[in-house]
Amino acid sequence: MEEIEQRLNAKLAPESVAITLIRASCFLSAYELIKPQIIDSVHDFFWCGFNEGKHLYDEARYEQGVLSLHPKKNKYLASCAWLVSMNALTGDQVATLAEIQTHRHEIAHELPKILVDPDFEVRTDLLADAVEIVRCLGVFWGAIEADTDSDLIGQEIDYDGIKSGQYLLMEYLASIAGVPAGGKPGHYDDDQAPAD
């Protein structure tokens, strides 16, 4: 009983609550940075111009090339599948995105539990994975922009060096949350690993 009380007191210490809130807000922000790069950017790939001030999209190609990749036409999952088919993400990264999405929902809907339950922590390993996924997406979309920009034709481009604004923000958020810069996603020292 004494151990439980000690763990609860440690969890409720002001410093611990502050760290938990910072990590939770960083994680929620990370998800909000990832989601549009998957759903909106994939849809934008099928942009085909303007008409009367409105954006036009090749919805038939989008339906066939993206939405058909998921049986229920879930835009998020279909877009993830399309990004894998385009070599922007790996299957493992998409599986990690599912974990990120699930954990995001836990954080958003169970914040009081995160603050008081000694066995529940914000998963910094997933936050590090999110940073790497945002980097990969930034490289993919940045390469497309570079390859289609007539001003860059004939110039040598370091595609792996592309750093999107979302990636720079993700790196910053991760550093605030205590996730080491340049750390390998999902691999931490014992003091940074998620609680079992």
Six-digit token string for 116: 């008081």
The rounded distance, in Å, linking the Cα atoms of 142 and 151 is: 14
Average pLDDT of the segment spanning 22-28: 94
Residue 182: the pLDDT is 59
Task: Find the helix or strand (DSSP H, E) in which 56 lies.
Answer: strand 54-57
Q: Are 94 and 80 in contact (CB under 8 A)?
A: yes
pLDDT exceeds cutoff 70 at 190: no
The rounded distance, in Å, linking the Cα atoms of 29 and 12 is: 23
Count Cβ neighbours within 10 Å for each residue of 111-131 and write b for 16 or more, e otherwise: eeebeeebebbbbbbbbbbbb
The rounded distance, in Å, linking the Cα atoms of 57 and 187 is: 40
CA distances to 40, 41, 46, 135, 170 from 152, rounded to whole Å, are: 25, 21, 22, 21, 27
Average pLDDT of the segment spanning 141-155: 89
Q: Report DSSP state, residue 183.
A: P
Average pLDDT of the segment spanning 135-161: 91
pLDDT exceeds cutoff 70 at 196: no
Residue 42: the pLDDT is 97
pLDDT band per the 50, 70, 90 thresholds, residue 195: very low
The rounded distance, in Å, linking the Cα atoms of 135 and 129 is: 10
For residue 180, which of 122, 125, 104, 133 has the smallest C-alpha distance?
Answer: 125
Average pLDDT of the segment spanning 144-153: 88
77-105 residue pLDDT tens = 999 999 999 999 999 999 999 999 999 99
Residue 172: the pLDDT is 92
pLDDT exceeds cutoff 90 at 8: no
CA distances to 117, 123, 152, 183, 195 from 190, rounded to whole Å, are: 20, 13, 45, 13, 10
48-83 residue pLDDT tens = 999 999 999 999 999 999 999 999 989 999 999 999
